[in-house]
Structure 1
Amino acid sequence: MNDKPKQKISRLPPRPDLEWGEDGVPRDQINDDVYFSVSNGLEETREVFFRGCGLPERWQGQGDFTIAELGFGTGLNIVALIKLWREYRPSQKAKLHVVSFEGRLMHVDSARSALKAWSELAEEAEILLSNWPERARGVQRLDLGNGMSLILHQDEILPALQNAKFEADAWFLDGFSPAKNPAMWSSDVMMQVGRHSSEGALIGTYTVAGHVRRSLSEAGFEVSKQPGFGKKRERLEAIFKGKPANLEKEADPLLLDCQEAAPQSVAIVGAGIMGACLAHAFKQRGCDVRVLDQANSVEEGASANPLGLVAPRLDGADTPQARLLIDAYLAARRFYRQFPDHAWFVDVEHFANSETEEQRQRRVIEDPPFDDGLLGVLLNGEGLKYKGGVAVKPADLRKQLLSNIEVEWGVSVSDLNDIDADLVILASGLGIKHLTSPEGVPLRGRGGQLEYANTSVSALARSKGHYIVGADETLVFGATYEDCENDVPELSQSAREKNIKAVAEIAPEINVSDLELQSRTAVRAVTNDQLPIVGRVPDFEKYKKMYGEDLRTGRRLNTGRAPYQKGVYVAGGLGSRGLTWAPFLAQYIAAEIFDEPLPTGRGGRELLSPARFYMRTLKRAKKE
């Protein structure tokens, strides 16, 4: 019996332990292997992976093409792929999706040193290096331009593959050698490669190890040896012939995994930050986009506050919820970086406002999810510093996002059948429950008042229940938080006094009496678990018939196709974190609808599911 305790895995992914040879080739000392061929890493990439996968010929005539890679490493394969795509992109509408997996992300400076060996890739290398992912477990999406995106999964390889959602047309198997990094080449990993492959997918890899060939064959691939590159006598190519019976998946009523034809026209109900980000994402994909909103202009609603703050909510343990929150926050930082006229990076000082939060912060400090580039500890351990939060002017940003979109103001939607579009996305806050099902999509209103003024204070951001943020000669602080079913609460002096009292505690250097204060109120839609409701809308009556009895009695669920409302999606319940959630959720919905690789793991997808609350209701229901 082995009583040795299981080693705890740190939330922060490890870095590689690098040794640099005189030839400039980095070697990982943990696996005792080089990152690329000492003879010519670039030519090895082109021979083993590009030619092995039939590129660029195989993506000609294709609208979308997906490549997956085991082993991100220095990013050399991606950089070379950027160049190949820019030279041979089939059309201006064609998209290339790359999904890569890495357990020990290299620091950007180390990657820069490794990639400088190829001057012919300098321009492409800078594209990747300027978008280099953050060190954090989870999933990050990088837009590399020209219709090319990169989804990077940082985690142990097997759980990362199990949690991912994509189908690859080609694979670069580029981990360290099987003898020195066996976990990357296990039979379970190769089975996941098969699970994530489309019919006819090709594999290129430098290894010909016998157990790798056998595992690929068991996963549905036809394997052949080919002449090797450099000193290697042989390499492998493989073609996917079809999923074995043990790879067939069961239908999941939470995830509603049902593929419809990609829409040509999209109608978005709601022009807040969620609707604006959705319009932007679908316009990028070539859709005819129309936005409908009952407000009279972009200056109304919660998404018209003078200034908003984007900061992470860090949980004290590595859970699916914690990773989802991190995925969303990092996506928001990357998104707002594109709009320097409307968004500014600010360090956020976050103080605990309860004993529970103090305990959570201590756990974060003891086992941080970010390195010191994004996370610090305030003096005397009084709280956390989020380095590089974002101050955003929502109304100005929304104006830019909607500038080339057809927007119909003053329109109140009461019947989805009145909307002429291939796809309708409900992003109208509390209005969502009136267009779906209040029981199936439970949303509650939370009203609040904030104060704002013109001021010279800038680069200020603090929070302790309430928050204060200053940027671009604007100062905002608040906000109160109260139950509110539908109507926007009236402005009140008592709410202002609460906000002033709070700012006196977290920013005593601000003399509020010197400011010409103005107030705003708004209502935010929230869910019971404080997470958004995002995705395809279930057909709730059919759900009850199909799953109600099984959920109530605890039996195995019917594995038939989960019923849903065709052509209707929802994106709501963002609460007070709309600026943080919206950029990520817009890409998430667009990726799901266009069958692109998803920018979060399975656990995160389940937490966002619009079916989750109704399934809980059915589980608790008594037999009639």
Structure 2
Amino acid sequence: MQPETQETVVWSDDGLPVSPRFGVVYRGSNPQGDSDAGLEQARHVFLRGCGLLAADGASAWANAPRWQILETGFGLGLNFLATWHAWRADATRPDRLFYSAVEAWPPEAAHILRSAEPFAELAPLAQELAARWHGLLPGVHRMEFEGGKIQLTLAIGDAQAMLSELTGQFDSIYLDGFSPSVNPQMWDIHTMKAIARLARRGALAASWCVVGEMRRRLGTCGFIVKRVPGLPPKRHALRAVYDPRWEPKARADASPLPLPGGATPRRCIVIGSGLAGASCAYSLAQRGWQVTVLDRAAEPAAGASGLPAGVVAPHVSPDDRPLSRLTRAGAQATLGRARWLLREGIEFAPTGVLERHAPGERRLPTPWQEKSDSKATRSTTYSSTAPETITKAQQAAAPLDEARLALWHEQAGWIRPAMLVRSMLKAPGIEWRGNQNVHRLEGSSDADSPVWYVLDESGAMLAEAELVVVSAGFDTRAITGGSLPLNALRGQVAFGPMPGNTSNAALPTFPVNGHGSLIAHVPLQDGAMWVTGSTFERGNPQAQLQDADHAHNRQRIAELLPLAAAAIDSQWPDGRARAWSGVRATLPDRLPAVGALGGKHATTGTNDDAQPCALQLCTGFGARGLTLAVLCGEILASWLHGEPLPVERSLAEKLRAGRLTP
């Protein structure tokens, strides 16, 4: 592989994108010299090669509930855009399209737009892709389009390493990338084996590359390969079907689908209607489940998710630990869901978030810190890709010096969580029922008709379903018989009306956090409000208001933002500054619990391993529910359906609920 170069793409005099790293074009022209011939090649080689543009109109994905495509080299996104366009144009398209791709050197968004310029039908799609093309650090990233019906999972890094981090059972495989002569690792036997492990039997693969050694490697891995006529100037193209003579071994980390015959959507009960429960209900309903959400309260989001407004921002750590990586993905997922369901500027706003460091604290991972130290100023901010110099507006909001640095989280903002909860619960396929005091669960052992029964204190049945997800915060511990080591974490915030004639310099238009937090200018029907906090009291499961916490929040805002504190300080003695309290649930390793709960339950007296459908959990978010709940709902649904995960496989494995039970 050639040495790293700063530029990923340069443009030739005839308008073709060129990789300076490999010295070859991303796509070629046809014999007539048309620079827009790349789209013809994409359609002929990949879409027709995988049966997605059938001449008789009977495409391979016709009327499928979902379809999964794997691409080995995303490049400038032309194959993805062509597939998206074909999906839109096909009346028999699958309801959900999962497109996973690997790319070692992601281009700039501007290159994606320029690449799509010759193709009028793709330009609007390229605009949507470019708008989400940010924060592409090494790892797995999820982008959603068409209201979530198209999910692009982009794995940034070396092909072999990232293929091992992808999950799914792929129906179509696009074998793309720079040629074996310049990038041999992309086409070697280890890459082909990694691809085969992700293919379902009968999956169709296609490529422009017909090198004999590559064809033999595919055959060794279980593909039946043939050469077909190519589109000039290519003489041939490759088509293959995955149909090994042997029965492939299941991956050691593969999880069985929870229902006999696979994860056929049926009835599901979600216990708890906070952010976690609503997120799980929404993700499952999008996949065809009929979901009943039960809550002991009279209204949704009556617990910790009733926070007046909260900050959505990633966690940053010097070692870029799993929590940091998860929260980067989680912030994207939460804000993405909000864009589909909420009114921007009213119920949420992706304003960015300024995070202040404690005096002397350095929190950037080493590679980012080195780039930060190279700046002319030590007052730096962290954006999605690299530290950048803090702006004048941010500096005015939070004066910095050598002892007080800050991070600027570009892909972050604020949200009113109860609004998101209610919007998700309104999705088709979801029924919400309040005043339902769930006491215990019972599961049948009938393999032919597996079902869970949800019972109240008197033993009366509240609901029954083939799948149950418990997302009841700290109450999850009692409902599951104390088998999960959840701890209560009570928190209290203060909020009040925006003062008149106050400049944005005193109360900034973006959240500031660090030692406490402040969100200002949150719209209300009769004005706007500010919110500050939160306190952390471990071991208290009661959400009572405490005067000491109210005073503590007043002190913390004075330390975080003195100008803002001065602007609202009079609201404490005159009662305009009010308090709100909620109880979160945490786990010993500070990561949430997602998925099947292993071990024996006191409530059921049975083993989950003996249950036809294991009890599922989504809980233990602590103070990170706003950032992680939507992501974890998608992880749970992906596990249940064998779909591509929205994060690295190894990262998702750290969340499995079974890790915490004997």
Q: Please confirm whether the aligned pair reaches a TM-score higher than 0.5, indicating the same fold.
A: yes
TM-score of the pair, normalised by structure 1: 0.87
2: distance between equivalents of 1:541 and 1:251? 26
TM-score in terms of structure 2 length? 0.82
- 1:586 equivalent in alignment to 2:633: yes
Give 1:124's aligned residue.
125
Contact 2:5 2:21 in 1 (8 A): no
Separation in 2 of the partners of 1:528 and 1:221?
Answer: 46
CA shift for structure 1 position 298: 3.1
8 Å Cα contact 2:73-2:101 kept in structure 1: yes
Q: 1:266 to 1:136 in 2, by over 3 A?
A: same
- Which residue number in structure 2 is paired with residue 534 of structure 1? 594
Q: Which residue of 2 aligns with 1:37?
A: 28
Corresponding position of 1:228: 230
Residue 602 of structure 1 pairs with residue 649 of structure 2: yes
The farther-off stretch of 451-460 and 491-500 is 451-460
Does structure 2 retain, via aligned residues, the 8 Å contact 1:136–1:370? no
The separation in 1 between residues aligned to 2:652 and 2:555, in whole angstroms, is: 39
* 1:316-335 pair list within 5 angstroms: 316-318=318-320, 320-335=322-337
* Pairing partner for 2:539 from 471, 484, 499: 484
- Which of 312, 315, 332 is the equivalent residue of 1:313? 315
How far is 1:232 from its partner? 2.1
CA distance in 2, matches of 1:502, 1:109: 42
Give the aligned partner of residue 549 of structure 2. 495
Contact 1:321 1:603 in 2 (8 A): no
CA distance in 2, matches of 1:237, 1:361: 44
- Look up the match of 1:157: 159
> Which structure has more helix as a fraction of its residues?
1
- Relative to structure 2, which stretch is displaced further, 41-50 or 255-264? 255-264
CA deviations over 1:505-532 (Å, ceiling 9, x no partner): 1110122323210001111000111110
1:435 Cα deviation after fit = 2.0
Query: Is the counterpart of residue 517 in structure 1 residue 577 in structure 2?
Result: yes
Tell me, in whole angstroms, the C-alpha distance in 2 between the residues paired with 1:362 and 1:509: 33
* Structure 2, unpaired ranges of 5+: 31-36, 54-58, 373-380, 391-399, 442-452, 455-462, 500-506, 523-527
Task: Flag the 1:294–1:372 CA change in 2: closer, same or farther, 3 A.
Answer: closer
Alpha carbons 2:594, 2:636 under 8 Å: kept: yes
In 2: Cα distance, 1:581 partner to 1:168 partner: 27
CA distance in 2 between partners of 1:243 and 1:466 (Å) = 61
Q: Deviations over 1:535-567 (max 9, x none)?
A: 12223479xxxx9xxxxxxxxxxxxx9666725
Match of 1:409 among 425, 430, 434: 434
Letter in 1 for 2:42: T
Q: CA deviation at 1:498?
A: 1.3
Which of 576, 580, 594 is 2:623 aligned to? 576
Which has the higher mean CA deviation after the structures are superposed, 330-339 or 561-570? 561-570
SS at match of 2:74: coil
Report the secondary structure of 1:608's partner residue. Answer: coil
Match of 2:16 in 1: 25
Which of 293, 296, 307 lines up with 1:294 in the alignment? 296
Task: State the alpha-carbon separation in 1 of the partners of residues 481 and 251 from structure 2.
Answer: 27
- Check the 8 A contact 2:274/2:301 in 1, yes or no: no
1:328: Cα distance to partner? 1.9
The answer to whether the aligner puts 1:467 opposite 2:517 as a matched pair is: yes
Going from structure 1 to structure 2, the CA distance change for 1:320 and 1:312 (only over 3 Å counts) comes to: closer
Report the more deviating stretch, 563-572 or 476-485: 563-572
1:507 aligned to which of 561, 566, 589: 561
- In 1, Cα distance between equivalents of 2:128 and 2:362: 40
Q: Which structure 1 residue ranges, 5 or more long, are not aligned? A: 1-6, 548-560, 619-624
Contact 1:537 1:565 in 2 (8 A): no
Q: Distance in 2 between matches of 1:197 and 1:89?
A: 26
Q: How does 1:544-559 map to 2 (within 5 A)?
A: none
Alpha-carbon offset, residue 315 of structure 1: 2.4
Structure 1 stretch 563-572 or stretch 373-382: which is displaced more? Answer: 373-382
What is the one-letter code of the residue matched to 2:474?
Answer: L
After superposition, where does 1:180-195 map in structure 2 within 5 Å? 180-195=182-197
Cα–Cα, structure 1 residues 601 and 15, in superposed 2: closer, same or farther, change >3 Å? farther
Aligned to 1:386: 409
Query: Structure 1 375/264 Cα, relative in aligned 2: closer, same or farther at 3 Å?
Result: farther
Alpha-carbon distance change, 583 to 158 in structure 1, aligned in 2, over 3 angstroms: same
> Larger deviation: 134-143 or 595-604?
134-143
Moved more, 257-266 or 296-305: 257-266
Distance 1:104 1:215, change over 3 A: same
Aligned partner (choices 404, 423, 429) of residue 400 of structure 1 = 423
- Residue matched to 1:353: 358
Q: What is the Cα deviation at residue 370 of structure 1? A: 7.0
Greater displacement, 575-584 / 146-155: 146-155
Deviation at 1:244, TM superposition (A): 5.4
Equivalent AA in structure 2 for residue 591 of structure 1:
S
Residues 420 and 126 of structure 1, relative CA distance in 2, 3 Å threshold:
same
The aligned amino acid for 1:152 is L
Deviations 1:461-516 (A, max 9, x none): 2222321222322211111111234322x322211121111110111012232321
Aligned to 1:64: 66
Paired with 1:326 and 1:299, the residues of 2 have a C-alpha distance of 24
| 497-506 or 221-230, larger mean C-alpha shift | 221-230
Aligned equivalents of 1:299, 1:145: Cα separation in 2: 27
Task: Name 1:553's counterpart in structure 2.
Answer: none
Q: What are the Cα deviations for residues 152-187 of structure 1, in whole angstroms up to 9, with x where unaligned? A: 111211111011111111111110111111121121
Letter in 2 for 1:497: A
Equivalent-residue separation in structure 2 for 1:367 and 1:530 (angstroms): 29
**Within 1, Cα distance between the matches of 2:184 and 2:382?**
28
Shift of 1:15: 6.8
User: In structure 2, what is the Cα distance between the partners aligned to 1:32 and 1:530?
Assistant: 47
Question: Aligned equivalents of 2:152 and 2:485: distance in 1?
Answer: 35
Corresponding residue SS for 2:636: helix
| Cα distance in 2 between the residues matched to 1:362 and 1:62 | 46
Partner of 2:470: 426
**Aligned with residue 566 of structure 1, among 592, 606, 613:** 613
Alignment coverage as a number of residue pairs: 581
Cross-structure match for 2:219: 217
SS at match of 1:60: coil
Query: In the aligned structure 2, how far is the partner of 1:14 from the partner of 1:344?
Result: 37
Cα pair distance change 1:371/1:358, threshold 3 Å:
closer
Aligned to 1:454: 497
